[in-house]
């Protein structure tokens, strides 16, 4: 790993009423934004708070706002997002800042539960395993959204969350949609009730910021559209 | 649940309005290009069941669509939510319905 030049890095310090603090960090090839933050925390200012775990794009804990856009920092190369070698790193939007780059994720996960984003089994271990047809329409719809890593990038990117703090958000609704299409799940009617409403799928404006920013290239907007249609049908047939 | 019905009302009213807007624009273009006088237009619309139903439906859809849309805009821009907002936008929709209905009646009856 060769060092080429210096990065000018502005990092948010403090809580909501904090400010940006600037650091100079050596730039190297294949350097990620998380590498930059880690360099600062380990060598320049050990009081810097941030969150990470796996460093390989699986755990969803290192998301931050990088040069104005929410991103997973462990898989974001500096050269890709800061060709002028200037980085501004802030906490995720739409979540309360605890300190520096760490946000309180409680609302995000509470909404996941409120959307009944929990698998409700219909069989016991003594029952035969459910046969799932991989290319069935429902299974393909579930598969399309199932790789979510709960990073909250979509939640931070969503303007509707900003405008309506009760809105469940793209991740929770995407999770609900995958379960609505899971043949093994037994709570689909209650879940549809939970996600249909002013704070649920009908609040989505189809801006598609969630799809634009999702690091896993998922399309929560499409999942939400599926929920809207399902709620529409259920309401008309008296099943909501 | 109530959110689902207002969503359904807003989307179906939009679906109803879309062809009616095109019809209305067509009527405007036809009337202007043909140089129709007000008297000539009223001659075609007065007593017409078709124009009465078309514009009556347009007014109804517009009143529903505007009221449900304004409800969403207000709830997102301000903190006003709940029953009082629902009553206020219902009143707004009713005013639009009455004003529009009066205009339709004026050219059809």
Q: How many CB atoms lie within 10 A of CB B23?
A: 14
CB of B4 within 8 Å of any CB in chain A?
Answer: yes
Q: Give the pLDDT confidence score for residue A4 in this predicted structure.
A: 64
pLDDT: which is higher, B35 or A24: A24
CB of B2 within 8 Å of any CB in chain A?
Answer: yes
Q: Give the pLDDT confidence score for residue B35 in this predicted structure.
A: 87
Q: Which residues of B touch A196 (CB under 8 A)?
A: 1, 3-4
Q: Give the pLDDT confidence score for residue A34 in this predicted structure.
A: 98
Q: How far is CA A99 from CA A11, A49, A95, B45, in A?
A: 11, 6, 12, 68
Angular region, B35: left φ>0, alpha ψ -120 to 50, beta rest: left
In whole angstroms, what is the distance from residue A173 CA to residue A155 CA?
Answer: 11
Residue A12 bridge partners (DSSP):
A20
Nearest to A235 among B8, B72, B75 (CB): B8
> What's A74's DSSP letter?
G
Contact predicate A192/A230, CB 8 Å: yes
In whole angstroms, what is the distance from residue A47 CA to residue A40 CA?
Answer: 10
Residues of chain A with pLDDT under 50: none
Contact predicate A179/A145, CB 8 Å: no
Per-residue tokens: A28: 């190297």
> What's A16's DSSP letter?
T
Q: List the one residue out of B60, B44, B51 whose CA is nearest residue B101.
A: B60
Indicate if the pLDDT at residue B23 is higher than 90: yes
SS3 of A89-141: EECCCCCCEEECCEECCHHHHHHHHHCCCCCCECCCCCCCCCCCCCCCHHHHH
Q: Do β-strands A3-13 and A19-28 pair in parallel, antiparallel, or remain unpaired?
A: antiparallel
Q: Give the pLDDT confidence score for residue B1 in this predicted structure.
A: 46
Cross-chain Cβ contact A200/B76 below 8 Å: no
Choose from B1, B5, B7, B71 for mutation: most chain A CBs within 10 A: B7
Tokens 């995407």, residue located: A174
- pTM, two decimals, is 0.90
Q: E strand or H helix at A28, and its extent?
A: strand A19-28
Cross-chain Cβ contact B3/A240 below 8 Å: no
Cross-chain Cβ contact B4/A163 below 8 Å: no
Contact predicate B6/B64, CB 8 Å: no
Nearest to A231 among B4, B75, B76 (CB): B4
Report ipTM for this prediction: 0.80
pLDDT: which is higher, A156 or B2: A156
In whole angstroms, what is the distance from residue B25 CA to residue B47 CA?
Answer: 21
Cross-chain Cβ contact B5/A197 below 8 Å: no
Q: Give the pLDDT confidence score for residue A221 in this predicted structure.
A: 98
Nearest to B1 among A197, A199, A236 (CB): A197
Q: Do β-strands A3-13 and A86-90 pair in parallel, antiparallel, or remain unpaired?
A: parallel
Cross-chain Cβ contact B7/A160 below 8 Å: no
Tokens 């075609």, residue located: B44
Average pLDDT over every residue of B46-68: 95
In whole angstroms, what is the distance from residue B36 CA to residue A85 CA?
Answer: 66
Q: What is the pLDDT of residues A204-218, one digit of tens each?
A: 999 999 999 999 999
Report percent pLDDT > 90 for chain B.
83
Q: What is the pLDDT of residues A136-188, one digit of tens each?
A: 999 999 999 999 999 999 999 999 999 999 999 999 999 999 999 999 999 99
Nearest to B4 among A160, A163, A197 (CB): A197
């Amino acid at each position: 790993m060769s060092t080429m030049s210096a990065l000018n890095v502005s990092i948010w310090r403090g809580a909501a009423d904090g400010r940006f603090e600037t650091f100079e960090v050596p730039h190297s090839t294949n350097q990620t934004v998380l590498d930059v933050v880690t360099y600062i925390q380990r060598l320049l200012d050990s009081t810097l708070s941030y969150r990470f775990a796996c460093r390989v794009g699986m755990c969803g804990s290192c998301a931050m706002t990088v040069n104005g856009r929410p991103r997973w920092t462990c898989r974001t190369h500096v050269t890709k997002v800061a060709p002028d070698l200037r980085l501004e790193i802030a906490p995720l939007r739409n979540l309360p800042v605890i300190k520096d780059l760490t946000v309180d994720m409680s609302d995000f996960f509470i909404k996941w539960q409120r959307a009944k984003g929990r698998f409700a089994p219909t069989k016991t271990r003594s029952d035969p395993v459910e046969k799932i047809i991989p290319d069935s329409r429902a299974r393909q719809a579930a598969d399309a959204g199932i790789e979510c890593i709960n990073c909250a990038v979509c939640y931070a990117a969503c303007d509707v969350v900003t405008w309506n703090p009760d809105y469940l958000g793209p991740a929770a609704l995407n999770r609900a949609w995958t379960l609505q299409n899971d043949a093994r799940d037994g709570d689909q009617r209650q879940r549809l009730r939970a996600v249909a409403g002013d704070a649920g799928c009908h609040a989505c404006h189809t801006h598609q910021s969630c799809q634009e920013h999702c690091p896993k290239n998922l399309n929560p907007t499409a999942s939400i559209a599926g929920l809207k249609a399902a709620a529409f049908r259920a309401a008309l047939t008296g099943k909501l | 649940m109530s959110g689902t019905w207002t969503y359904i009302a807003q989307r179906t009213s939009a679906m109803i309005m879309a062809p009616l807007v095109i019809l209305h624009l067509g009527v405007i273009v036809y009337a202007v290009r043909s140089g129709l006088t007000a008297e000539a237009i009223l001659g075609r619309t007065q007593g017409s069941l078709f124009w009465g139903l078309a514009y009556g439906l347009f007014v109804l859809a517009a009143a529903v669509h505007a009221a449900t849309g304004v409800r969403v805009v207000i709830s997102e821009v301000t903190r006003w939510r709940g029953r009082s907002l629902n009553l206020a936008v219902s009143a707004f929709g009713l005013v639009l319905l009455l004003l529009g209905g009066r205009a339709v009646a004026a050219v059809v009856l």
